Amino acid sequence: MANKYNFDQKIDRRKTHSYKWDVSQDEISLSIADTDFLVANEIQEAIISRSNDATYGYTFVPNEYYKAYIHWWKNRYGLDLKEEYFIFSTSVVASIDSIIKRISKVGDYISLFAPNYNVFFNCIENNNRKVLEIPFVYKDYQYSIDWDLFEKEVQKSKIFILCNPHNPIGIQFSENEIKRIVEICKKYNIYIISDEIHSDLDYNEKRYNPVLKFVDYEKAIMLVSPGKTFNLAGLHSSVIIIRDKDLRELIQKGVYEDDVGEPSYFSIEPVIAAYTKCEQYVNEENEYIKENRRILAEFLVKNDIKMKIISGFATYLLWIDISYYSNDSEAFTEELKRSAKIIVGSGKHYHEHYSSFIRINIATQKEIILQFCNRLLRFLKERE
């Protein structure tokens, strides 16, 4: 079947006040986690139609908004949700920040796997809680969970933050792993905040497993948003999903107190369009990302570039072991920027221990992936 959407189409994002593309004309950016893809025309139409109202006053969240999420999670992932479980929030990070304040105290430990999305660390530390890292095992260029360590460490914490699928290492957690994580947290009465913002970005047929699907645990909180999948981060639209009524009321109150519970005029209709009309967009997007990864992986092998892609097949972020070339990812990425005009993420952002990794975002046009490959090769040759 012919593709409906054109992911090859280039957009000059430098003209759109984009954080990712706030770079000079000769630089290419594979850094910040949003895509360079045009949104689905169904979403664009929803925005244009809303814009045509020409009055942009305060807005509430209609039931159709939550119904759209329910439809998507049921159809795609077999998860049953009810409207009453939902709380609107302007962003996933704002939700995490607000939730931490409500269910933990100053000085409490909050645990997470490491490496992990760097902003979680800020959310913990800015609220004067303590980070408890539970490192993945890194062996033969693969990550896995050390279950004994997990159980030993997680019980010291008040909250466990899960990133499912995982940024930066791009893995899905299997059904068994999710069940085991939830069961261990339940055993020690630990809250789980599961950030599932990357849920739909999965290009290896191995569907992601929502934390609320398998084990009924009243302290499990799931956060999702269309921001990554549909390139809508700038609309500030996300949800918190909690089954337990008491916990939900506590968090809902917190979200209002923190003033992150009200949508913008454009937060609603585009999201309804995304979750009710754009499944094909996501399927084609995943295929496109998969092909970008294949191109890059083949290029590395063919040109004897000794960088190793570690990631699984989820998210559009690749976590790459560069230890053959450098153990100082800060210096390496700065050199890449200066000499090769390519901008990628430094592993050190994720912690000192990860200075022999870089993170690159491949949700861009094939043409840019090829430019990246050629510039990287030239850079490494000049460096020899």
Ligand X SMILES: Cc1ncc(COP(=O)(O)O)c(C=O)c1O
Task: State which of residues 31, 104, 111, 167 lies at the interface with ligand X (CB under 6 A).
Answer: 167
Strands ordered across the beta sheet of 220-224? 86-89, 238-242, 220-224, 191-195, 159-163, 109-114, 130-135
163 binds ligand X, rule: CB under 6 A: yes
Q: Which two tokens stand for residue 230?
A: 């549909």
Q: Which is nearer to ligand X, 194 or 355 (CB)?
A: 194
Q: What is the dihedral of CA 325, 329, 331, 336, to 10 degrees?
A: 70
Q: Which two tokens stand for residue 137?
A: 């095992």
Length of the chain: 384
- In angstroms, give the least distance from the CB of 3 to ligand X: 26
Pairing type for strands 159-163 and 109-114 reads parallel
| Angle of CA points 69, 5, 294, to nearest 5° | 95
Task: State which of residues 31, 238, 355, 356 lies at the interface with ligand X (CB under 6 A).
Answer: 238
Q: Which is nearer to ligand X, 232 or 380 (CB)?
A: 232
Q: Residues 6 or more apart from 55 whose CB is under 8 A from it?
A: none
- In angstroms, give the least distance from the CB of 378 to ligand X: 29
Measured CA to CA in angstroms, residue 379 lies from 305, 325, 354, 374 at distances of 11, 12, 22, 9
- In angstroms, give the least distance from the CB of 95 to ligand X: 8
- In angstroms, give the least distance from the CB of 163 to ligand X: 5
- In angstroms, give the least distance from the CB of 100 to ligand X: 14
Q: Which two tokens stand for residue 307?
A: 């960088």
242 binds ligand X, rule: CB under 6 A: no
Instruction: Check residue 243 and report its DSSP letter.
Output: -
117 binds ligand X, rule: CB under 6 A: yes
Task: State which of residues 115, 227, 254, 270 lies at the interface with ligand X (CB under 6 A).
Answer: 227
Distance CA 129, CA 108 (A): 5
Q: Which is nearer to ligand X, 91 or 231 (CB)?
A: 91
Map the footprint of ligand X across residues 348-367, applying CB under 6 A: none
**Got the DSSP string for 276-327?**
HH-HHHHHHHHHHHHHHHHHHHHHHHHTT---EE---SBSSEEEEE-TTT-S
- In angstroms, give the least distance from the CB of 238 to ligand X: 5
Site string for ligand X, 70-109 (x = CB under 6 A): ---------------------xxx----------------
- In angstroms, give the least distance from the CB of 245 to ligand X: 25
Q: Which is nearer to ligand X, 162 or 340 (CB)?
A: 162
Instruction: Check residue 263 and report its DSSP letter.
Output: -
Q: Residues 6 or more apart from 264 whose CB is under 8 A from it?
A: 59, 90, 235, 236, 237
Q: Would you call 14 exposed, middle or buried from its count of C-beta atoms within 10 A (0-12, 13-18, 19+)?
A: middle
Site string for ligand X, 192-211 (x = CB under 6 A): ---x-x--------------
307 binds ligand X, rule: CB under 6 A: no
- In angstroms, give the least distance from the CB of 381 to ligand X: 32
Q: Which is nearer to ligand X, 320 or 380 (CB)?
A: 320
- In angstroms, give the least distance from the CB of 162 to ligand X: 10
369 binds ligand X, rule: CB under 6 A: no
Place of tokens 């006053």: 57
Q: Which is nearer to ligand X, 117 or 208 (CB)?
A: 117
Instruction: Check residue 227 and report its DSSP letter.
Output: T
278 binds ligand X, rule: CB under 6 A: no
Task: State which of residues 31, 199, 225, 231 lies at the interface with ligand X (CB under 6 A).
Answer: 225
- In angstroms, give the least distance from the CB of 253 to ligand X: 20
Q: Which is nearer to ligand X, 93 or 376 (CB)?
A: 93
Q: Which two tokens stand for residue 382?
A: 């000049």
Map the footprint of ligand X across residues 12-71, applying CB under 6 A: 33
Q: Which residues bind ligand X (CB under 6 A)?
A: 33, 91-93, 117, 163, 167, 195, 197, 225, 227, 233, 238
